[in-house]
Structure 1
Amino acid sequence: MINGGLTHLLQLKRAHKRALQLFADAVVLLLSYLLATLLAGGDVASFALPGFWLSILIFVPVSLLIFVRLGFYRAVVRYLSIPLLMTILTGVLASASVLLAAVNMMQVPLPWTVAPIYGLTAMCVLGGLRITMRALLHRHPIEGRTAVIIYGAGKSGRQLLGSLREQSEFIPVAFVDDAAELRDSDVGGLRVYDPARLGRLIQIHGIKVVLLAVPSASRAERREIVERLEKLPVRVQTIPGMTDIVTGRARVSDLHDVAIEDLLGRDPVPGLEPLMKGNIQGKVVMVTGAGGSIGSELCRQIIQQEPQTLVLWELSELALYTLNNELGEIAEAQRLDVRLVPLMGSVQNPRRMASALERFGVQTIYHAAAYKHVPLVEQNVVEGLRNNVFGTKVVADAAIAAGVESVILVSSDKAVRPTNMMGASKRLAELVCQAAALRQSATVFSMVRFGNVLGSSGSVIPRFRQQVERGGPVTVTHPSITRYFMTIPEAAQLVIQAGALATGGDVFVLDMGEPIKIVDLADRIIRLSGLTSYRLAPGAPHRGPAAPKDKSAGDIAICFTGLRPGEKLYEELLIGEDSLPTRHPRIMTASEIHIAPDALDELLDEILASCLMQDIAALRRMISAAPIGYRPSGPTADLLGAETMPRPRLARTAAE
């Protein structure tokens, strides 16, 4: 009944709410006057005097007018604050003064103590009513609000609580915190509980969402918290940074699922300043593929190292426009004296590349431009090879001619014993850089090899999330498939430092940690969405009328679709067996085989000729015979290859 009344009050128009407040305050003032008269020892007979009621007709309307002028009714009760309580105190003091004047004017025989007692009573009742209404409104489960628990009762948790109380989507019911000194205390009107009691709290309050407010925790600590929460039947979400909320760049309602870094990431190793700045500070730096996942993060970190000029080389107009604007805003906000040069172009264009290097005097190149999606490159072999291999050759040749100091190739773990054309193209690109290093010594070439990065374009993580949001199924290619993962910021930081370690022809391998089973990753994403998973047998239908309808085993199905063309069950980082440590704990150097420059030139000439002829079969034979370890896993999937080419149409006759 109380909830129904509150809901009705909240639905009233603002003018009606103010009129109701005025009426309630008038009644409070009247009752406070009557009570103060009795408490001050006044005679009950005074109530029968005409002057007594005339004084009421004077001081009550005047007091309400004062309240209006002071802004009593402009403030929203739900957001009651200390300044409003001070305004109430001022209004009550003014009202008591008006009461005293009215009693004297009407010559009502009352003790002088009536006014202070009235003021104290009115202050307690007026303030108390508003505080009570505020508490009821904060606890009132408005239809559609979701009860949540906040994990973290520190400063950020308290700020989150205040922000949640100012919007209508969530209603916080409790805190949990790992700090023993906070447990069983009250923070902002909510009790703080031991995380061990989470399961019971979820049952009692019907919790569906837990919000993380622990921004100061290390990544290892956050991962430990997430691992604890993923066992519970709740969705785990986190908030934007409080700085973004306060500055208006984000709202508390902009909640998002736990970052995948909290599942797989590790605490970053601080960058070594000499390595971070070695190839960048005061220099002209170019990033090819600047608009891509790795390229854009390289640019964000490079700009912090104070280059003289940053040349953004990108084929996509939209990606270049977006990145240039973002970097410009960063430079302006942080007062960085960096010149940004946005250049549209393909790395396959030798004249434009040579002109850019000469025109701007480029000293360091981070070559991140590449086609990297395995299935797409399998379906578009010629363009994959031309961009990844011959684009790298264009960059290498132009860099040597222009006297560039350092060229760092962003490579891939798929270059090791490749089973697909993407991996083969990246291994050939490595060989191009190794040959360039052997031909001369003025330009230092190096290659940095690592595995998958979290959150990159085409990453499996966003796809899994989308499939969960649609109700499933979540598709995994094989039950045993594993991959290495690294966050984009960590990968970019290590690429920068590896380049500064190079002496010429180096192949650097990044420490990727332990490989992750993709099906386990899918399981965790489903659980963190507050759902349960069940697995279909490999080959079982997951769409259409034959798909299973009974979800008693779980909410979201995980089905296995089979390995795609060229896909491996697991990836490797080393061709040989040995790697050596470097000055950085997460960067190793490997001694890899290379091809003599002249022999490589002959191979590339043959590959280019077959590319020009669109001869996919010849390309596969040629690259399989090359000493790069390429072993295709099946027939070509190229959309223009022999196996997939449509039958030729008969030429029309002149008569037609």
Structure 2
Amino acid sequence: MLENFLNKISQRYASKWLVLLFDIMVVSASFFIAYLIRYNFQLDFDFSILIKQIPYVMITAAISLISVGSYKGVVRFTGFKDIINVIIGANILATILICCTFLSRKLFGDDSIFNISGSIIYIHLLLNILFLIGSKLFIKSLYTQITQDVHKTANVLIFGAGNSGMLTYDAIQNDTKSGFQVVGFIDDDERKIGKKINLIKVYGFDEITYDFIKKYKVEDVIISIQNIDPTRLLQITGNLFALGLKVKIVPPVQSWIDGDLSVGQIKEVKIEDLLGREPINIKNPDLEDQYDNKVILITGAAGSIGSEICRKASLYNYKKLILVDNAESALYDIQQEFKQQGLKHIDAIVADVRNKTRIDQIFNQYKPKIVFHAAAYKHVPLMENNPFEAVSVNIEGTKNVADVAVKHSVDKFVLISTDKAVNPTNVMGATKRIAELYVTCLKGKGHNTKFITTRFGNVLGSNGSVIPLFKKQIEKGGPLTVTHKEITRFFMTIPEACQLVLEAAAMGNGGEIFVFDMGEPVKIFNLAKNMIILSGLRYPEDVDIKITGLRPGEKIYEELLADGENTKKTYHEKIMIAKSRFVDIDKVEKGINKLTSINSLTQPLEIVSSIKSLIPEYISNNSTYEVLDTKNNPNL
């Protein structure tokens, strides 16, 4: 019942006129107390004069408080600016009383009701500041205490005792529904450790132990440090997770609403925050010119990468957006998403890149000028068992779209590749490397189409990535499956990947392979542990991790550059161009033509053997195709 009552009154605020009346009554009471103090708490003064002066003081107080607007503030949210307003209003009141006293003595003598002793005015000023501020803070504190007693609160620590930490503390204190009770600050600055801020102690990171958490019943830590180094964030969260704490993070100041932080903006730490590097941010005004009034075609438009490229491209002033995919349900979903946004000039087409005649028909109808080729088979274990399909989509499909792009004089063709194409150990990576080689061979063959390749690592949240798999396994109670305890991968977010692709299309002049500085690789085992803890569970008590062994074709470490490649810088420090080694175009084209002529009845060993003859650096790992490497190289 009390909770319902508090919920109702929490939705309402006292009338500003009621607040003004309350403040005037406080001023009147303090005026009476000022008289008592002046006369040493002896009733040796004329009550009739006091009674006559109180209405005059009340009117003057109303004028003073209205002039500064102190009565307009919400008492339960009283802050520093409100306190300053009260002090200014009290000083205006004292100034008016002094001026009126001076004039009344000149005009009416000492018997005027406007004649107030200077000592009483100064005592009254101090009492007004004390009582007006004290009453507001008392009401604020009382309201906060009552609501916290009724609503369940969690004890939290704020990591960062700087300006951002103070703003976070104020946001929590001013929001009675935040559900947080700050019990301390954490900071690395030794000058702050041991001191108190707002009567709350600042602790060193080393002091946060199991005993400390148990003593103060700490449940969460809010990281409130602007522009924190991602590596440092990873270290901090790892240590906090190990203590069984939940970790939240304050967003960058530029994303605060109207420049103010609200508790609702404090979010749980996400896996994206723990990549160990700064997220890529590209601001290139040339992008708008690149896509302005252009027909843009995206293959694999229903996939996680393709669909995000569609979303990014839809933000520009395109002429027409053509979405091509053979997965009708997923393609329908992205089509409906755009329809609900009211976007026009977007056509969704069900087609297979393996059907060259169909692709040619689409290009002939729409005349695209920019093509993003994201259609591909990318699941390593599946392609290891089905090499024909990998060849037919990743190689032949790419060849079909690229050849048709040349035929129809497309301006730019952007191939979406993968870090698994570098020194490949599996069929999927090898076929993607051959796709890279094919578009490289098309450079400078008497046409105007510019072929550009983008190569990046694993994408968080994409179809088939480890994150959705871990989430499903956690929902089922585990265990999480990791193939090797030391396995590492480079990671980026889907928006980052697609922003890189769009930038490559604008930056590329043809023939480049763009690679992205993805920072340090992430150990999958640690990623799994962090996901368990981010889900509010404990490792290994609640959810365990099972090591299953490397899958066919899988390698422990991924690379972004092949042997014999190095990089040159671009205008953006995170984007580089791989200097590719010499490619024998005639040999590559003959090998690709041989591969694409293989039919589905051909044995997998024969198909993979042809791939290996074209990609000598392709050495199988944990796969049945390792026998081909041994046969070709007896020293292995």
Q: Common fold, TM-score beyond 0.5? A: yes
In structure 2, what is the Cα distance between the partners aligned to 1:164 and 1:179?
Answer: 23
Pair 1:465–1:198, CA change in 2 (3 A)? farther
Equivalent of 2:566 in 574, 580, 586: 580
In structure 2, what is the Cα distance between the partners aligned to 1:479 and 1:72?
Answer: 64
Equivalent of 1:318 in 333, 337, 356: 333
Who is 1:461 aligned against? 467
Pair 1:157–1:23, CA change in 2 (3 A)? same
- Please state whether the residue corresponding to 1:400 is helix, strand or coil: helix
Determine whether 1:197 maps to 2:198: no
What is the CA distance between 1:392 and its match in structure 2?
A: 1.9
Pair 1:462–1:574, CA change in 2 (3 A)? closer
Work out whether residues 225 and 250 of structure 2, in 8 Å CA contact, stay in contact via their aligned partners in 1. no
What is the CA distance between 1:510 and its match in structure 2?
A: 5.7
Work out whether residues 167 and 261 of structure 2, in 8 Å CA contact, stay in contact via their aligned partners in 1. no
Who is 2:250 aligned against? 239
Pair 1:121–1:87, CA change in 2 (3 A)? closer
Pair 1:515–1:21, CA change in 2 (3 A)? closer
What is the CA distance between 1:48 and its match in structure 2?
A: 11
In structure 1, what is the Cα distance between the partners aligned to 2:313 and 2:12?
Answer: 59
1:113-159 alpha-carbon deviations (Å, 9 max, x no partner): 35664464344213212223435656775441112222223443333
Work out whether residues 61 and 93 of structure 2, in 8 Å CA contact, stay in contact via their aligned partners in 1. no
What is the CA distance between 1:198 and its match in structure 2?
A: 3.6
Q: Match of 1:454, as an amino acid?
A: L
Pair 1:265–1:440, CA change in 2 (3 A)? farther
Who is 1:550 aligned against? none
Computed over aligned residues only, the root mean square deviation of the Cα atoms, in angstroms, reads 5.6
- Please state whether the residue corresponding to 1:215 is helix, strand or coil: coil
Who is 2:182 aligned against? 172
Determine whether 1:484 maps to 2:489: yes
Determine whether 1:399 maps to 2:405: yes
In structure 1, what is the Cα distance between the partners aligned to 2:352 and 2:11?
Answer: 66
Work out whether residues 509 and 588 of structure 1, in 8 Å CA contact, stay in contact via their aligned partners in 2. yes
Determine whether 1:570 maps to 2:556: yes
Work out whether residues 283 and 363 of structure 1, in 8 Å CA contact, stay in contact via their aligned partners in 2. no
Work out whether residues 66 and 91 of structure 1, in 8 Å CA contact, stay in contact via their aligned partners in 2. no
Who is 2:615 aligned against? none
Q: Which moved more, 1:57-66 or 1:424-433?
A: 57-66
Who is 1:41 aligned against? 39
In structure 1, what is the Cα distance between the partners aligned to 2:525 and 2:232?
Answer: 24
1:311-366 alpha-carbon deviations (Å, 9 max, x no partner): 463542433565799998xxxxxxxxxxx963423453656754665677655433
- Please state whether the residue corresponding to 1:372 is helix, strand or coil: coil
Matches within 5 A, 1:11-22: 13=9
What is the CA distance between 1:179 and its match in structure 2?
A: 4.2
In structure 2, what is the Cα distance between the partners aligned to 1:146 and 1:370?
Answer: 48
Who is 1:218 aligned against? 229
In structure 2, what is the Cα distance between the partners aligned to 1:148 and 1:599?
Answer: 63
Work out whether residues 550 and 622 of structure 2, in 8 Å CA contact, stay in contact via their aligned partners in 1. no
Matches within 5 A, 1:101-180: 112-113=116-117, 117-118=123-124, 120-135=126-141, 141-142=148-149, 143-167=151-175, 168-180=178-190
Pair 1:302–1:262, CA change in 2 (3 A)? same
Work out whether residues 439 and 597 of structure 1, in 8 Å CA contact, stay in contact via their aligned partners in 2. no
What is the CA distance between 1:266 and its match in structure 2?
A: 2.7
Query: Percentage identity across aligned positions?
Result: 28
Q: Which moved more, 1:135-144 or 1:517-526?
A: 135-144
Q: Match of 2:589, as an amino acid?
A: P
What is the CA distance between 1:80 and its match in structure 2?
A: 0.7
- Please state whether the residue corresponding to 1:157 is helix, strand or coil: helix
List gaps (5 residues or longer) in structure 1: 1-5, 329-339, 535-553, 611-616, 636-656
Equivalent of 1:208 in 210, 213, 219: 219
Q: Match of 1:77, as an amino acid?
A: V
Pair 1:62–1:266, CA change in 2 (3 A)? closer
Total equivalences in the alignment: 582
In structure 2, what is the Cα distance between the partners aligned to 1:16 and 1:423?
Answer: 62
Work out whether residues 478 and 561 of structure 1, in 8 Å CA contact, stay in contact via their aligned partners in 2. yes
Determine whether 1:620 maps to 2:604: yes
Q: Match of 1:152, as an amino acid?
A: G
What TM-score comes out, normalization by structure 1 length?
0.68
What is the CA distance between 1:271 and its match in structure 2?
A: 7.5
1:159-205 alpha-carbon deviations (Å, 9 max, x no partner): 32232223322222333333455555655664444434344764553
Work out whether residues 484 and 549 of structure 2, in 8 Å CA contact, stay in contact via their aligned partners in 1. no
Matches within 5 A, 1:156-555: 156-167=164-175, 168-180=178-190, 182-183=192-193, 190-199=200-209, 202-247=213-258, 252-267=263-278, 280=290, 284=294, 286-289=297-300, 292-295=303-306, 311=321, 313-315=323-325, 316-319=331-334, 322=337, 342-345=346-349, 346=351, 348=353, 353-354=359-360, 362-374=368-380, 387-415=393-421, 422-423=428-429, 425-427=431-433, 429-430=435-436, 432-433=438-439, 436-437=442-443, 442-464=448-470, 468=474, 470=475, 472-480=477-485, 482-488=487-493, 491-492=497-498, 504=511, 515-527=521-533, 532-534=538-540, 554-555=541-542
Work out whether residues 324 and 348 of structure 2, in 8 Å CA contact, stay in contact via their aligned partners in 1. yes
Work out whether residues 239 and 254 of structure 1, in 8 Å CA contact, stay in contact via their aligned partners in 2. yes
What is the CA distance between 1:437 and its match in structure 2?
A: 5.0
Work out whether residues 508 and 589 of structure 1, in 8 Å CA contact, stay in contact via their aligned partners in 2. no
Determine whether 1:601 maps to 2:593: yes
- Please state whether the residue corresponding to 2:161 is helix, strand or coil: coil
Pair 1:234–1:588, CA change in 2 (3 A)? same
In structure 2, what is the Cα distance between the partners aligned to 1:463 and 1:180?
Answer: 43
Equivalent of 1:32 in 13, 30, 33: 30
What is the CA distance between 1:600 and its match in structure 2?
A: 3.2
Pair 1:441–1:89, CA change in 2 (3 A)? closer
Q: Match of 1:210, as an amino acid?
A: V
- Please state whether the residue corresponding to 1:344 is helix, strand or coil: strand
List gaps (5 residues or longer) in structure 2: 102-107, 326-330, 613-617, 625-636
In structure 2, what is the Cα distance between the partners aligned to 1:9 and 1:92?
Answer: 38
In structure 2, what is the Cα distance between the partners aligned to 1:14 and 1:424?
Answer: 63
- Please state whether the residue corresponding to 1:156 is helix, strand or coil: helix
In structure 2, what is the Cα distance between the partners aligned to 1:108 and 1:466?
Answer: 84
Q: Match of 1:81, as an amino acid?
A: G
Work out whether residues 488 and 557 of structure 2, in 8 Å CA contact, stay in contact via their aligned partners in 1. yes
- Please state whether the residue corresponding to 1:411 is helix, strand or coil: strand
Who is 1:614 aligned against? none
What is the CA distance between 1:220 and its match in structure 2?
A: 3.5
Pair 1:218–1:92, CA change in 2 (3 A)? closer
What is the CA distance between 1:414 and its match in structure 2?
A: 3.7
In structure 2, what is the Cα distance between the partners aligned to 1:374 and 1:300?
Answer: 27
In structure 1, what is the Cα distance between the partners aligned to 2:92 and 2:517?
Answer: 71
Pair 1:516–1:37, CA change in 2 (3 A)? closer
Work out whether residues 93 and 119 of structure 1, in 8 Å CA contact, stay in contact via their aligned partners in 2. no
What is the CA distance between 1:396 and its match in structure 2?
A: 0.7
In structure 1, what is the Cα distance between the partners aligned to 2:141 and 2:482?
Answer: 52
Work out whether residues 77 and 133 of structure 1, in 8 Å CA contact, stay in contact via their aligned partners in 2. yes
